[in-house]
């Protein structure tokens, strides 16, 4: 009789531990998605800053050349 009771408790703990593992997987996936989104946002802002600085430098240099000539 004890053996049957022990088997049932082991099965229940296995199911509970599997549920905990699945929840942990979802959490780490969400963190990875958020980190990737932050990295992509950082790349976009860096590209925007470079494009803006190139346009600004071109504008300033073209104005300087126009007024010198």
pLDDT per position as a tens digit, 2-51: 555 555 555 555 565 666 656 666 666 688 888 999 999 999 999 999 99
pTM over 0.95: no
Structural tokens at position 16: 């509970």
In this prediction, residue 30 carries a pLDDT of 82
Structural tokens at position 60: 């300033």
- For residues 42 and 38, give the distance between their C-alpha atoms in angstroms, rounded to a whole number: 6
The DSSP 8-state label assigned to residue 69 in this structure reads -
Q: Which residue has the tokens 């992509």?
A: 40
In this prediction, residue 69 carries a pLDDT of 83
């Amino acid at each position: 009789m004890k053996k049957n009771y022990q088997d049932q408790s082991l099965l229940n703990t296995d199911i509970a531990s599997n549920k905990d593992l699945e929840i942990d997987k979802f959490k780490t996936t969400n963190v990875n998605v958020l980190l990737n989104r932050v990295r992509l946002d950082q790349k976009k802002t860096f590209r925007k800053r470079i494009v803006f600085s190139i346009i600004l430098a071109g504008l300033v240099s073209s104005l300087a050349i126009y007024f010198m000539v």
